[in-house]
Structure 1
Amino acid sequence: MTVPLSPTSHYNRFLSAVPPTVDAPLPAWPILILLYGFPLVWAMGFMQFAPTVLALIMIVLMVMRRHVMVHSTMWIWFALMFWGLICLVSINTGSEFLGWFQRYMNIFNVGIYTVYFFNARERIPNHIMLGGLLTIWATVVILGYAALAFPNFRLQTPMSFVLPGSLLNNDLVKAYVLPPMAEVQLPWGVDVPYNRPSAPFPYANSWGLAYALLTPVVFAVITGVHSRKTQILLVLAVVVSLVPAVATSNRGMFIGLGAAFAYVLFRLLLRGDWRALGIGFVLFLGGITYLTVSGAIEEILGRQEYSNSTGGRASLYELTFEYTLRSPLVGYGTSKMADNVGVSMGTQGQVWALMFCFGFVGLGLFLLYVVSVLINTWNVASLTGMWVHSVIVAALAVVFFYSFDVIQLTVLMLTVAMMMRSRMYGEGL
């Protein structure tokens, strides 16, 4: 179901104060810059700025068009955007405001991207969108290899020469304008450092989350293209991508990928395709064999032995929940350091970030939106659609472990928009 918005008397008035250029096709270039331009945006050091600038441009273009449509479930995301503003009441200092602003703008920006793409079907068909997401995946994999080769290297972006030194002293700002290739971790007692690929993101967990959400998109492209050569090249690319993926030793990444693959196989079984059992068994056996032979399982267990990240997360989650009970509706607006754990509350997972920063209301709206779109787009028509749909499943599988930055949220929301738009217009997914 979709909700049409137009200036006519029997619909809600929306963006109606501007002289009309009614139904003029929305240009593709803002989305193309966001997706196909992602490698350049990262290399220029614009990752903290470009998403918001592009969102504002999209708003202007939609205002000029006037006639804008949103899918029905999008109103839940609008409610989350509104609630994030309400949570400003918890902000007391300038630094807290900056933390709130970054988190809120991620939610705001991806909401705008979703509405824009939903209304830009004349210029941005699904195969263009899938190609853009594939570009981000390829960037992630290539930089993953660069991280393995040069783990201590930091890219000197043009933006790093523009920002004042006071801002560069902020660790997060520095991670975006002087981005590292990898997280080099040397826990006490370990002989060899763990070089975990992170570029084009500040953290290895962000790399793993992006890989978990984007790899199903690669399989969507594989099943959707008609060129056998392209299919073979993409399959080989997925195999090659396993090297940096394994190096991240991200347990949550494997959980997300496993959930996506299990979902697609389950849907095939529901259609009576019993070959899925054989395919699933071969993939499972091959995956376990690769993880064992490559040393990934041993490395994950070894890192756990030295760092005890599971125990630390459990303590952080418990403390985050206890603090949220003290401000259950609006949360705290941004993360806060938990001194007895050594990690900020409101991090280490999307569920905990939303709960702590925007209260149980913000968390509930986010989960309601994701579950709703999962249900509303259940009746996929093709194998390609199943793979696109599995991105939502992968996201739900890892919301407790990983926090979604703007790119990861963009991947999730644009795949949702593809499913909802295809459902409305019969675009074949």
Structure 2
Amino acid sequence: MKNPAWPIAALLVGYPVWWALGFGGLSVVVLAVPMAVILWRRRPIRLPYGAGLWALLLAGYLISSLALAESPPGTYGGLGTGRLIGYGMRFVLYAALFVVVLYLGNLTEKELPQLRLIRMLGVLFIWTVAGGLLGVLFPKFAYTSPVEMLLPSWIADNSFVQNLIHPTAAQTQRVLGYSLPRPEAPYEWANAWGSNLSVLLVWFVVGWWVYGGRRRKAVAAILIALAAIPVVYSLNRGLWIGLGLAALYLVIRVGGRTRLTVCALAATAAAAFVLSPLAPLVSQRLDNPHSNDIRAFTVSATIRAAAHSPVIGFGNTRNATGNHRTITTGKTDWCAECGHPPLGSDGQLWLLLITQGVTGAALYVAFFAGAIRRHRRDRSPVGLAGVLVMALVLLYMFVYDGLVTPLSLYLISFALLWRNPT
């Protein structure tokens, strides 16, 4: 019988192939099918603490479909194909990710050793760094994927679907007064790249540095140094804050020689960065917080809209009437940046508020906060890393959407904590 860990290896190690084919984040849905079949054959199925919360999140999402046709004040649009596609895809992704967690938790240590899983995440970190460098060096790289060619236009042209199936190296955005590419390969958008890199870096350090020999440590040092280039060019303040808090977390949680090592490495990295040509770019980005007004508008509009269905939400996002610059909708000759910002697009917390109300947001927070509470005393490398990732999840929910690939990595990290003997 083939090793039952093969779907996980296909998902993590083989992710660039999925991305190149146009599946990208949807690969988790494809691979959840054989995982579900294998799980069914291996009954009874073990459940982690917190499984009930995720099950309730799924049930609440089904209930939220009752409000799909509603348009709260300050929004526009009716129940169309796009809204139904977005709703259906999100539900399938939430369900598929739950299957992945159950699958990982029901594999034995012999079938999938913990360190092997961590090093698979480390391989994906390498792919992420490579994709980031691709976005910096060849930002215009993009092509029509095989999946995109096969899908009917009424599906492929949906903006949510298009981000998942159309491989691009970078998002070009006007940030510092001029257009700049922000790396996103091999993920669906630039913020997903930033979130994923920070989570994968945590597990890369565990698998390649903490449990690595001299050769692995040397390779790890080189790769982390290379990662600094796309990290800076991503112009991603959320990522920078996350990395800073991760370093602070390690200094506080570890002790003895390890703490001295972490401090020495952090000081060396900071000095090298300040002396590098990348430092001025960070300074310019911090002096030009162009997205603050946009985020303030969409977050406040999301909260106002969600207040009209606070318990079950509206099932999917809604388009706001106007934007932070004008009450008119759509681009004009005098406002090229005007458009229809979707509510819930600036963080998983806001997405949950508009789609599932306060109930969905509370269940999501309880799921990850519960993992922190249960494992906060685990001082093993996996325990420290897993709790750190759970904390990053709660931080990033204010600025990053979890779907699609970030949430996959959040839940795989949750499964690593569940599998960790304490």
Tell me the TM-score range normalised by the shorter chain: 0.7 to 0.9
Q: Aligned AA for 1:173?
A: V
- 2:10 is aligned, of 18, 33, 41, to 33
Residue number in structure 2 paired with 1:212: 198
Contact 2:25 2:187 in 1 (8 A): no
For residues 169 and 314 of structure 1, the distance between their equivalents in structure 2, rounded to whole angstroms, comes to 28
Q: Pick closer, same or farther for the CA change 1:145–1:395 going to 2, 3 Å.
A: same
Unmatched 5+ residue regions in structure 1?
A: 1-23
1:233 paired with 2:215, answer no
Q: Aligned AA for 1:362?
A: G
For residues 169 and 97 of structure 1, the distance between their equivalents in structure 2, rounded to whole angstroms, comes to 14
For residues 224 and 100 of structure 1, the distance between their equivalents in structure 2, rounded to whole angstroms, comes to 41
1:267 offset after TM fit, Å?
1.1
1:211-267 deviations in whole A, cap 9, x for unaligned? 111111111113442421111111211111111111101000011122222222211
1:48-99 deviations in whole A, cap 9, x for unaligned? 5432222122122111111210122222112112211111111122322211
Scaled by the length of structure 1, the TM-score of the pair is 0.85
For residues 222 and 52 of structure 1, the distance between their equivalents in structure 2, rounded to whole angstroms, comes to 29
- 1:392 is aligned, of 366, 390, 393, to 390
Report the secondary structure of 1:314's partner residue: helix
Residue number in structure 2 paired with 1:6: none
- 2:365 is aligned, of 367, 372, 388, to 367
Sequence identity of aligned pairs in percent? 24
For residues 48 and 58 of structure 2, the distance between their equivalents in structure 1, rounded to whole angstroms, comes to 16
Scaled by the length of structure 2, the TM-score of the pair is 0.87
- 1:175 is aligned, of 163, 175, 185, to 163
Contact 2:306 2:357 in 1 (8 A): yes
Residue number in structure 1 paired with 2:416: 418
Alignment of 1:68-83 (within 5 A): 68-83=45-60
RMSD: 2.3
Q: Pick closer, same or farther for the CA change 1:304–1:316 going to 2, 3 Å.
A: farther
Contact 1:87 1:331 in 2 (8 A): yes
1:161-214 deviations in whole A, cap 9, x for unaligned? 212334333333333332211011236x935x2111011123211111111111
Q: Pick closer, same or farther for the CA change 1:126–1:226 going to 2, 3 Å.
A: same
1:308 offset after TM fit, Å?
2.1
Q: Pick closer, same or farther for the CA change 1:226–1:362 going to 2, 3 Å.
A: same
Q: Pick closer, same or farther for the CA change 1:134–1:324 going to 2, 3 Å.
A: same
1:269-296 deviations in whole A, cap 9, x for unaligned? 4xxx2762x4454455445445544465
1:297 offset after TM fit, Å?
5.7
For residues 313 and 180 of structure 1, the distance between their equivalents in structure 2, rounded to whole angstroms, comes to 24
- 1:337 is aligned, of 313, 319, 322, to 319
Report the secondary structure of 1:196's partner residue: strand
Contact 2:192 2:405 in 1 (8 A): no
Alignment of 1:297-336 (within 5 A): 298-300=280-282, 302-303=284-285, 308-336=290-318
Contact 1:346 1:354 in 2 (8 A): yes
Equivalences, count = 395
Alignment of 1:208-287 (within 5 A): 208-269=194-255, 273=256, 276=259, 278-279=260-261, 281-287=263-269
1:350 offset after TM fit, Å?
1.0
Report the secondary structure of 1:43's partner residue: helix
For residues 111 and 204 of structure 1, the distance between their equivalents in structure 2, rounded to whole angstroms, comes to 25
1:195 paired with 2:181, answer yes
Alignment of 1:349-368 (within 5 A): 349-368=347-366
For residues 151 and 210 of structure 1, the distance between their equivalents in structure 2, rounded to whole angstroms, comes to 19
Q: Aligned AA for 1:175?
A: N
For residues 171 and 157 of structure 1, the distance between their equivalents in structure 2, rounded to whole angstroms, comes to 15
Q: Aligned AA for 2:308?
A: R
Name which of structure 1's ranges 304-313 and 75-84 shifts more when overlaid on structure 2.
304-313
Contact 2:383 2:420 in 1 (8 A): no
Q: Pick closer, same or farther for the CA change 1:128–1:340 going to 2, 3 Å.
A: same
- 1:100 is aligned, of 87, 110, 125, to 87
For residues 37 and 316 of structure 1, the distance between their equivalents in structure 2, rounded to whole angstroms, comes to 36
- 1:134 is aligned, of 122, 130, 133, to 122
Unmatched 5+ residue regions in structure 2?
A: 70-78, 324-339
For residues 117 and 26 of structure 1, the distance between their equivalents in structure 2, rounded to whole angstroms, comes to 13
Q: Pick closer, same or farther for the CA change 1:259–1:304 going to 2, 3 Å.
A: closer
1:361 offset after TM fit, Å?
0.4
For residues 174 and 23 of structure 2, the distance between their equivalents in structure 1, rounded to whole angstroms, comes to 30
For residues 258 and 120 of structure 2, the distance between their equivalents in structure 1, rounded to whole angstroms, comes to 31
1:42 paired with 2:19, answer yes
Contact 1:331 1:358 in 2 (8 A): yes
For residues 199 and 46 of structure 1, the distance between their equivalents in structure 2, rounded to whole angstroms, comes to 13
